[in-house]
Amino acid sequence: MRVILIGPPGAGKGTQAKRIRKRLRIPHIASGDMLREAVSASTPLGQQAEIYMKKGELVPDNVVTEMIMERISRPECEDGFLLDGFPRTLQQAKALHKALARSDVHIDHVLHVKVPDEEIIIRSTARRMDPVTGRIYNLKSDPPPKAIIERLIQRSDDNETTLRNRLAAFHRQTEPMIPFYEKQGIIRRIFGLGTLEEVECRILSALR
Ligand code: AP5
Ligand code: MG
Residue 208 pLDDT class (50, 70, 90 cuts): confident
Q: Count the domains in the chain.
A: 1
Reported pTM: 0.96
The interaxial angle of helices 44-55 and 160-169, nearest 10 deg, is: 100
In the sheet where 28-30 sits, what is the strand order? 28-30, 81-84, 2-6, 109-114, 187-191
d(CA 207, CA 121): 28
pLDDT category, 22, cuts 50, 70, 90?
confident
Atom nearest to 17 CA in ligand 1 = 18
CATH of the domain at 33: 3.40.50.300
**Which residues are the active-site residues?**
13, 88, 127, 155, 166
Mean per-residue pLDDT, 161-171:
95
Closest CA relative to residue 72, chosen from 23, 36, 40, 34? 34
163 has a pLDDT exceeding 90:
yes
For residue 164, give the ligand nearest its CA.
1
* For the CA of 86, the nearest atom of ligand 1: 34
* Ligand 1, CB cutoff 6 Å, lining residues: 7, 9-15, 31-32, 35, 52-53, 56-59, 64, 85-86, 88, 92, 123-124, 127, 136-138, 141-142, 166, 194, 196, 199
Average pLDDT (96-112) is 96
Domain that holds residue 13: 2-207
